[in-house]
Amino acid sequence: MKRIPWWGGGAVVLLVGAYVVLFVKVSPDRSRAEPRATPRVEPPAEPYLPVAIEIAWSDPLDGYIAVGQVTDAEQYADGIRRIEVRFNTAVTLTVDRIEVVTTGDTAPLVESVTQNGDDWIIDLDRPIPAAESTAIVFDAGVAWVLIHSHPGDVNLDGTTDWNDAIALDAAIQARWTQVTGYDVNRDGQVSSADVDSLGGVIAFYNGTVWNVESLGSVLCCCVFDRCSVGVGASCAGGEVSCPCVPNPCGSVSTAQSTHTQ
């Protein structure tokens, strides 16, 4: 079960003499909550990054499981909006060479890409979707960072329940300072405030089972002889080795599966 933001809208048209007046009702939070369709990103004609390139470091790490709350105090979407990466060789990144794909309905869009020394900072226009798996994919599958959102699963046992509250309390009693996995309210420290936030998360996701294997893999799939990158458990068409550049799907059987990272 997912919590879906609500907004209302309507329009009234008045005809006054030779003038038409249009009144439009828009919710104040529409600009923050309205889902936007993700435009299709066509793979470039030629590889941009070297095919042999690897991500030397990233924050969050590839495969990271985010367990924090997914809304802030005013119930706006909260979570991971920035990804930092460092490659094993010098590269130049631009927005058009980065695609965000997710198991959710609508993926965030890349808002900006900036360089800081050897690192690249990628800012998204909104947080990664709650309770989904999301990948930041570079150059049609040359490399990627995959992030899983498992709200409340503090002990990483694959289920959100009150055992997670026990694990958080133990971390607080032990004066745990490593915030990863315990900083539920995202304030940069582990404290009793996280217990309060976790209570709300568990109330919403209580008993939810998170299955990384069934939700979270980066796949390069063939659809009508076209290669596209997605996140999921399998391809509806043929699966091929990433990247999608140059297009490997021209003569691939739909039963073929040769995916490797």
Range of the domain at 193: 162-205
- Top pLDDT among 77 and 255 is at 77
Q: Is residue 166 part of a domain?
A: yes
pLDDT digits (tens, 9 = 90+) for 32-48: 344 444 444 555 555 56
pLDDT digits (tens, 9 = 90+) for 140-158: 999 999 999 999 999 999 9
Q: Is residue 229 part of a domain?
A: no
Q: Is residue 172 part of a domain?
A: yes
Q: What is the pLDDT of residue 44?
A: 56
pLDDT digits (tens, 9 = 90+) for 150-209: 999 999 999 999 999 999 999 999 888 777 889 999 888 899 999 999 999 999 999 999
Q: Is residue 189 part of a domain?
A: yes
* 57-64 long-range contacts, CB within 8 A, separation 24+: 57/85, 57/86, 57/119, 58/83, 58/84, 58/85, 58/86, 58/145, 59/83, 59/84, 60/145, 60/147, 61/145, 62/144, 62/145, 62/146, 63/146, 63/147, 63/148, 64/147, 64/148
Residue 65 has pLDDT above 70, yes or no: yes
Q: Is residue 170 part of a domain?
A: yes
pLDDT digits (tens, 9 = 90+) for 218-243: 999 998 889 999 998 888 888 999 99
Q: What is the pLDDT of residue 82?
A: 97
Average pLDDT over the chain, rounded to an integer:
80
Distance separating alpha carbons of residues 211 and 11, to the nearest angstrom: 44
Q: Is residue 55 part of a domain?
A: no
How many domains does the structure of the chain reveal?
1
